[in-house]
Amino acid sequence: MAGQIIKRGDKRWLVRVFTGREADGKRRYFNKSIHGTKKDAQKWLTAALRDQDMGVFVEPASMPLTDYLDKWLLTVKHRVRERTFDSYEWLLEKYVRPTLGQKRLCDLKAVEVQKVYNSLTEDKKLSAKTVRHVHQVLSSALNQAVKWRLVVQNPCSLCELPRRVRKEMLCLSAEETKLFLEKAREDKWYSAFLLALETGMRPEEYLGLKWSDIDFDRGFVTVRRALVWLKGGGWKFEEPKTSQSRRTIPVTSSALTALKRHKVDQAEHILKLGADYQKNDLVFASETGTPLLWRNLRNRHFKKILENDGLPKSLRLYDLRHTCATLLLSAGVNPKIVSERLGHASVVLTLDTYSHVLPNMQQAATDEIERMLHAAS
């Protein structure tokens, strides 16, 4: 018998759907209580048996959402970068579990998820970007629940998200960049700032550089790893962010000269410190040879340079990367070349990120067409 209807009281019916056998041969059923007429119960059973014949019948999972999220996190832990996993845990713990955690997975409705998103936007005043991050994580988890046939549909897919607000990107102009480098020249980490501006590397990439990554003869720097500081303390190296992030970048003779000078200074310090120096072969290392904390680089050096007149005080260390890309695109460098230099996954990402440069590029293209087609011969 594929299914049966059992009367349980006045206008109350137990509908049973045969779903297979246990390992010991015992029959297994999915039970559903229906309130209404027998016709209502038969209608539900007919639909369930039809879905079962089509292979789309899903036995709703009664576990709380918070328990399911624990299971899901275990499956993604070894598939994403450590920092990404930490952000998943944090977002779910702070914004999802407190309000939705005790809801049964099978009972979770789109309207309830939407209410959480609205509250994050209106009550907690979170940015659209943060709310979209919460949605991305929760939706990914529930997409997996659909694949595991624990729920029929992902309720997140029916929700409306706050409109993405593109913030104005902060970067240095050509004149400000020259002023920044002039003021940074006497700083201990001048070579790091110069390299960041020339190559567009991410901070975790140039702070993870080893001397073996620098080819002084050919004038190349190769990105092979990223430095990651662990949540509980300590550090490790990881693969670069994307496959395109593993790249070799040509650098100027000025940058190579600065790096050579830095290497000499570092060698003198290592000789003085002796066995107390940890030999990790890092280009930019602390006094004891351990990786350089980017917060120290930012607070004790980068921010000091920005105190000079003519430089934006709100500039972030990461904005040196944006400055590199903006200067190159503004100078008419092919976006594909800029994309490869930055280690972007695609040139589309580069053009989308630096769309503020496109109007100037379009005008330059128009001027070039004017010169080629209409200039007096």
Domains, the chain, in order of start with CATH, read 3-54 (no CATH), 68-158 (1.10.150.130), 174-316 (1.10.443.10)
Task: Provide the Cα torsion 325, 331, 332, 335; round to 10°.
Answer: -10
What does the CA dihedral 354, 357, 359, 365 come to, rounded to 10 degrees?
-110
Measuring CA to CA, which residue among 143, 161, 160 is closest to residue 152?
143
Give bridge partners of residue 104 from the DSSP assignment.
64
Rounded to an integer, what distance in angstroms lies between the CA atom of residue 1 and that of residue 115? 42
Three-state SS annotation for 194-222: HHHHHHCCCHHHHCCCEHHHEECCCCEEE
**Backbone CA torsion sign across 93, 95, 98, 104:** negative
The phi-psi region of residue 301 (left if phi > 0; otherwise alpha if psi is between -120 and 50; otherwise beta) is alpha
Is 174:327 a contact under the CB 8 Å cutoff? yes
* Structure confidence by residue, pLDDT tens digits, 35-91: 899 898 888 888 878 776 766 555 566 789 999 999 999 999 888 888 889 999 999
The pLDDT profile of the chain, 377 residues, written as one tens digit per residue, is 578 888 888 889 888 887 777 777 887 777 778 889 989 888 888 887 877 676 655 556 678 999 999 999 999 988 888 888 999 999 999 999 999 999 988 889 999 999 999 999 999 999 999 999 999 999 999 999 988 878 878 999 999 999 987 777 889 999 999 999 999 999 999 999 999 999 999 999 999 999 999 999 999 999 999 998 887 778 889 888 778 899 999 999 999 999 999 999 999 999 999 999 999 999 999 999 999 998 999 999 999 999 998 999 999 999 999 999 999 998 889 999 999 999 998 999 898 888 877 777 777 777 777 778 876 65
Q: What is the pLDDT of residue 61?
A: 65
Q: Give the pLDDT of residue 65.
A: 94
Question: Residue 72 is which amino acid?
Answer: W
C-beta of residue 113 within 8 angstroms of C-beta of residue 95: no
String of b and e for 139-176 (b: at least 16 CB within 10 Å)?
Answer: bebbebbeeeebbeebbbeebebbeeeeeeeebbeeee
| 19: exposed, middle or buried (Cβ count in 10 Å: 0-12, 13-18, 19+) | middle
User: What CA–CA distance (Å, rounded) separates 118 from 131?
Assistant: 9
C-alpha atoms less than 13 angstroms from C-alpha of 96 in its C-beta half-sphere:
30
| C-alpha span between 161 and 262 (Å, rounded) | 49
Q: How far, in whole angstroms, is CA 324 from its chain's centroid? A: 21
